[in-house]
Structure 1
Amino acid sequence: MYLVIGATGNVGSQVVEQLLASGRKVRVFTRDASKVAHWGNRVEVAVGDLTSPETFAKAASGVEGIFLMNGALDGEVFRQLIASAKAEGNPRVVFLSTLFAGFENSPIGRLHKDKEDVIRASGLSGRFIRAGAFMTNAFQWIGSVCAEGVVYNATGAGKVAPVAPEDLAAVAVHALTDASLTSEVFEVTGGELLTVPEQVEILAKATGKPIRSVDVPTEAAVQGMIDAGTPAPVAAAVGQSFELVREGKTAVVKDTIRQVTGRPPKTFQSWAKEHAARFA
């Protein structure tokens, strides 16, 4: 039995699907059982909240492995979660982290690295999926694309290698289930370096509609997030990540997907074609 946290998210839902496809039993942890009802009796459902270690402990009881995300969770609460999982057995924990965990001057990286270290200190077997930029980050552009035909870009000509959620999930599933893997950290990116304007051009071709990329300063992007309801410290941390991208610090391609799964990563062009209707 494997416990999946974040089963309603882009990556977590793929982890569930791929575990089920491989014949594994799955338990999903959710605050709202109706959001996972589409799996029917294919999964067990544990209702609870990550801020309530008691409910998490019950969900973790008897499982072989746990897929865990939410690097922004309060540090003390996270420690309690890991302690409760340890008390319920000795599950392997696969934590969805970020490439920024390798950057000492990244607030978002520190949030995730601290969680990694909590898992390491617990004595549990931990494996850490340090993800690069998600292709699904492009969904944040839907509003401005549909209203204005514009993507506002705070990363300049900085490049990333966007990764598809199903590829991240595939690495996570292998990390959960394959005892022969010896790595503790899996740095996962897509296979091609792209700027935001290049991603926008690909998206425009996929949708068949004109879409422009407009550069904006980091400060404006941060203020936009705050205006949209993002807490100011979180928005500031994201802004600093934009700066790292702008400075070229994230222009790396890792071959982890091919090494772990035996197949190449999905291209952004393929992903854009699959999801073009959402930008129409």
Structure 2
Amino acid sequence: MYLITGASGNIGGHIARQLLDAGHPVRVFARDPGKLGELAGRVEIAAGDFGRPDSLGAAAVGAKAVFLNTGPNPPDLPALLAALKTRGAPRVVFLSTILAGDAQFQLGRMQRANEEVVHASGLRATVLRPSGFMSNTLRWAESIRADSVVYNAMGTGKAPMIAPEDIAAVAVRALLDPALAGETLELTGGELLNVPQQVEILSGLLGRTVRSVDVSIEQAIQGMVATGIPEGIARGVAQSLEAVRDGRGRAMTQTVERITGAAPRSFHEWARTHAAQFA
């Protein structure tokens, strides 16, 4: 059995479904099972939250491995890991960020510190460092529906965005394969695109013209804050937007194909699957 956290989000839900489709039993750690949708009927549910480390420990009893997505600022990561260690010490697949490899980024420093806590725990762990998610473009859906506009703080800077489904596929391999314990895997998509190119792809899929309109980094921060993202996190995200704008986000890896045997999805392929969410 495999324990999945964050199953109502972009990565955990795909992991749970991929494991189930391959015939593996799945237990989901959830604060609000009502957010699991159709997945709720296919998995075992363990109620709890990261603010109660013992609830995570109890959920991990009997698990071979745990997918742990705490975000950059968990309430008490050492206590969460200690709770896992006392309940059978399952392997951990920890979701970090590709920014953790560069100390100039606030979010990278936060997640790098979390990675160090994971390694210091003594649990056998695989760390995943994905680049920006293709699913982040779903934040454009409201302005596309209202005004056929995407507000762009990255100019013509290109980056190798990755589909959540591909992050999940690597996570599944790491959950199933103990030989990947101890590795830090940097994950990217297989193509470099900028926002205007992504908008052009969406225009074609939606059958109508969508425009890319440049905005400042500060405007992007305020837009994130308006959606409920804490300002400190928003400014951390803005650092990565600025890096892409300035041409510093172009590095690609071959890790997805090396681990899964399949090339990562293109943005066109991912967007075609999710086009209804933009319409």
Whole-Å separation in 2 of the counterparts to 1:71 and 1:33 = 19
Q: Give the superposition deviation at 1:181.
A: 3.2
Whether the aligned pair in 1 keeps the contact of 2:125 and 2:181 (CA below 8 Å) is no
Q: Give the superposition deviation at 1:47.
A: 0.6
Whole-Å separation in 2 of the counterparts to 1:176 and 1:80 = 22
**Match of 2:128, SS?**
strand
TM-score, normalisation: structure 1: 0.95
Q: Give the superposition deviation at 1:173.
A: 0.6
Structure 2 unaligned spans of 5+: none
CA gap 1:228/1:9 in 2 versus in 1, 3 angstroms: closer
The residue number in structure 1 matching 2:152 is: 153
Whole-Å separation in 1 of the counterparts to 2:218 and 2:136 = 19
Q: Give the superposition deviation at 1:37.
A: 5.6
Percent identity between the two aligned chains: 47
The residue number in structure 2 matching 1:184 is: 183
- 1:57-100, CA deviations, whole angstroms, 9 ceiling, x for partnerless residues? 111122110001122333x5111101111111121110111110
Q: Give the superposition deviation at 1:171.
A: 0.3
Between 1:101-110 and 1:173-182, the stretch displaced more is 173-182
- Where do 4+ consecutive residues of structure 1 move more than 6 Å? none
Whether the aligned pair in 1 keeps the contact of 2:3 and 2:66 (CA below 8 Å) is yes
Whether the aligned pair in 2 keeps the contact of 1:95 and 1:126 (CA below 8 Å) is yes
**Match of 1:250, SS?**
coil
Q: Give the superposition deviation at 1:39.
A: 3.3
**Match of 2:257, SS?**
helix
Q: Give the superposition deviation at 1:40.
A: 5.0
CA gap 1:148/1:49 in 2 versus in 1, 3 angstroms: same
Corresponding position: 1:3 with 2:13: no
The residue number in structure 2 matching 1:43 is: 43
Corresponding position: 1:32 with 2:32: yes
Whole-Å separation in 2 of the counterparts to 1:19 and 1:277 = 25
Structure 1 unaligned spans of 5+: none
TM-score, normalisation: structure 2: 0.96
Whether the aligned pair in 1 keeps the contact of 2:174 and 2:181 (CA below 8 Å) is no
**Between Structure 1 and Structure 2, how many residues are aligned?**
279
What RMSD, in angstroms, separates the aligned Cα atoms of the two structures?
1.4
Residue identity in the other structure for 1:119: V
- Within-5 A mapping of 1:191-206: 191-206=190-205
The residue number in structure 1 matching 2:123 is: 124
- Within-5 A mapping of 1:163-178: 163-178=162-177
Q: Give the superposition deviation at 1:19.
A: 1.0
Whole-Å separation in 2 of the counterparts to 1:170 and 1:211 = 31
Between 1:3-12 and 1:34-43, the stretch displaced more is 34-43
